[in-house]
Structure 1
């Protein structure tokens, strides 16, 4: 199937919802039964999930890029498809596209002492042509002290990991560098990689290129051996507008919102049908079937852009919301990778009992309700996953919003204990196609996917009915949770988020 969908923003883009009147609420709710978990779950079908997976795959494969990376026709088609699907329910949802501009890498040409080396332009950095001696930056370049050897007019050589590459670039620029080469911390190239922050307080950015771990380590060895290596780097960038899709029920209490989200983009390597087409589709299917019911609390669905470049869409959204709007979100739940082929059922450790770091008040209660659902209603095993800030709940966590979510696992290796609990293969990644070309519609465990989608539906229905499971709002506790959550993000979660 061939798709040609131009990305056209709505004529009016608003950053807050117009809250419906009591009379319009009544019209929307009339003749619809109040949502119940079991009734909503019954409407979810594997066939619908798979049909939508093929749609996303076709969006990718009908383009030269064969992916759904932000700024490409494949992702633009994804955004329009989500928006057009929600638009079929004008009496049930309000919606908008939230736009923001990004500088994306087009190409990079790199030589070292005249010898060409494969490189990729790093998104969010400026275009330019720079030439200078390579200076190796130790300790992954996350502190200004790491740049003591940098000289004016040099190009820094630094490893990926521990902090955003934006911080490394800005600190190098402040120290006098005119360019940056960042090398991977795992096998594979850095096609589609970005600085991961639109701007930083550490300084302005210089042109940046991404190279492989092997090439980077070879250059490090040459520089540390005393060789003068002159790097010549030319990068080309393009400014692209990308979009979050935000939808909210017209019915329900808009002062008390349950916010369900996932990211809509893929990496450059492939179509991203598990990561995160699966979460995109699960949310969309729950949103479609929710229209058969009324709600007491408003339900907001968000599909974020730019997650793979550093949670950019979710970060932008949070930055645009006044605190009064964030306070209306009683609980934010995020869903990334719902159908991993060597799956586990992971629940974020909201109460900190497994990994020691809890989320804001309400996060623990969300975890407990997921646990209760899996154990009692679904009758399946589950395990915990750390609140490491690695997906789109991170900016909400930092803003003090109660958060939670579930996942089926990414590139980590399944343990013997997990294989006994969930089946599958010990010693093999949860998703062997993670961030690669084979993450297509055949890279899905549909049984796990429907189970996770039903868990999403359960949480949607539960909190659309009532927030009685959560602690009452408390201003003093809110201030404390924001301080603690921001500290967690800065001291711990940033390392996991940006370094992998």
Structure 2
């Protein structure tokens, strides 16, 4: 998930999180995990997908008959409200649904995703067994809830790093500079001078003003997606890139499939970056060599649909299920997944006017591959039934802001789609925050999350976001709390994106927003 650019906010305070008032039915996650066992090897998964495909065959469509209601409980004194039974009642009002979509329920799903990652080398990367176990978990939850569940298989490029070298020209092999070749880096062997960017982050063309053609760009991490830095540098004439950390954290990160095949890109520590910026080394020739390749692997989307509702008008919502290689991805995007999954579970007994469709995308981190495959393979007649798409990606960042975007132009020129209708979706988000005393702001989402393929075919869309690598300003800290001068999510695309990497107050608010918006558009259609 990419971070978005910001606009000016207004003031608010954070409400305390709601807690569960009833026990959450625990799902058999351990059995799901054991079914996935074995070693994670992204390069090897492509050759072992026959059995996986059988194991993830589309679930048998569920009947339209829901399980019977539980017996009416014994009468309670008139002074006491009746007990809430979320697993039996139809949560068809805002009050009922928001009582049942609890922080505890959402966190329980995040805990299962964390346990899955722990059992599979710390990752839920697309093409690994960690992602497959995540898929099976979501499949069971939604099948048990009574949805029609299907799994869509697709192929995507799996990156491999075969060899690399980074040293100052003239140094011997033993004097290698420690580095990490980023996934989807290109291959090349070159010797060229090193030139830092003119701008602070190297995210856009102005940051490369006066950049000499044929040099290796030295760029500080942060401010935008790593792939965006590479594309901007190549457009300015760079032949390679060295990105240095902006903190003392470990080396981790990845590009997407959009990165050029012939441009080597490596990541170095903050200390090495500072050394390269020193005057005797600045501009000195650097030897950079990477040998990489890409082969086809397999991943999956999971699509769940209600049995009721008008099939000619589909209200669709999605969240990407995969993580990056470096970590479990509990905020990116276990937060969006958990909120959407718990909302779907609690809406299982609702009789919607519109058909509901929930999507859990694969290979988003590689470049929106799963959602793009879904949209491209959707027949024209089915595309015409899509009334709107809601995107939930990173909604519990630890040093959060409340941001919203849509096809009304607030998402930027790259993702304008049915602007009048999209504006209505964003208005629903904005009113939700305002009615609860929270500030929010519209931001440019660009093309870096799963709303983009839907925007490309004209589907109205909207989404929310709580921030990634960008630095929180003092004004933002006054508005949303948190720490100025620190990233919204310092663990973005890193191993520390665990259960501890979530702001529970922000996640609780946004889980309510997910539930409120889905129920609203389950019962209403967008109209000009």
TM-score (norm 1): 0.73
Moved more, 439-448 or 360-369: 439-448
SS of structure 1 residue aligned to 2:497: coil
1:451 aligns with 2:481: no
Quote the residue 2:432 is aligned against.
373
The structural deviation recorded for 1:79 is 1.8
Question: What is the CA–CA distance in structure 2 between the aligned matches of 1:300 and 1:450, rounded to whole Å?
Answer: 23
Give 5+ residue unaligned stretches, structure 1: 199-203, 472-500
The 5 A counterparts of 1:344-383 are 344-348=401-405, 351-352=408-409, 359-361=417-419, 362-376=421-435, 379-383=436-440
Quote the residue 1:191 is aligned against.
252
Q: Which of 128, 150, 154 is the aligned partner of 1:72?
A: 128
1:336 aligns with 2:393: yes
Cα separation, partners in 2 of 1:211 and 1:354, compared to 1, 3 Å = closer
Quote the residue 1:116 is aligned against.
176
SS of structure 1 residue aligned to 2:376: helix
Deviation readout 1:401-458 (Å, 9 max, x if unpaired): 2111112232334444444444444444333333333321122232322221111111
Q: Which of 53, 68, 79 is the aligned partner of 1:9?
A: 53
Question: What is the CA–CA distance in structure 1 between the aligned matches of 2:472 and 2:381, rounded to whole Å?
Answer: 42
Deviation readout 1:443-499 (Å, 9 max, x if unpaired): 2232322221111111111111121x432xxxxxxxxxxxxxxxxxxxxxxxxxxxx
Question: What is the CA–CA distance in structure 2 between the aligned matches of 1:176 and 1:458, rounded to whole Å?
Answer: 47
Q: Which of 162, 173, 192 is the aligned partner of 1:134?
A: 192
Question: What is the CA–CA distance in structure 2 between the aligned matches of 1:35 and 1:431, rounded to whole Å?
Answer: 34
The 5 A counterparts of 1:21-420 are 35-64=92-121, 66-89=122-145, 91-106=146-161, 108-112=163-167, 113-114=171-172, 115-124=175-184, 131-134=189-192, 164=228, 180-181=240-241, 183=243, 186=246, 191-197=252-258, 205-206=261-262, 208-212=264-268, 227-235=284-292, 239-348=296-405, 351-352=408-409, 359-361=417-419, 362-376=421-435, 379-389=436-446, 390-420=448-478
Cα separation, partners in 2 of 1:186 and 1:25, compared to 1, 3 Å = same
Quote the residue 2:76 is aligned against.
none
Question: What is the CA–CA distance in structure 1 between the aligned matches of 2:283 and 2:99, rounded to whole Å?
Answer: 67
How many correspondences in the alignment? 444
Quote the residue 1:490 is aligned against.
none
Q: Which has the higher contact order (CA 8 A, sep 6+)?
A: 2
Moved more, 240-249 or 25-34: 25-34
Q: Note the aligned Cα RMSD (angstroms).
A: 4.3
More helix by share: 1
TM-score (norm 2): 0.70
Deviation readout 1:76-112 (Å, 9 max, x if unpaired): 22122112222224x5323223322222235543143
Cα separation, partners in 2 of 1:96 and 1:146, compared to 1, 3 Å = farther
Question: What is the CA–CA distance in structure 2 between the aligned matches of 1:98 and 1:421, rounded to whole Å?
Answer: 43
Question: What is the CA–CA distance in structure 2 between the aligned matches of 1:67 and 1:417, rounded to whole Å?
Answer: 35
Deviation readout 1:164-187 (Å, 9 max, x if unpaired): 578589989xx998xx55535855
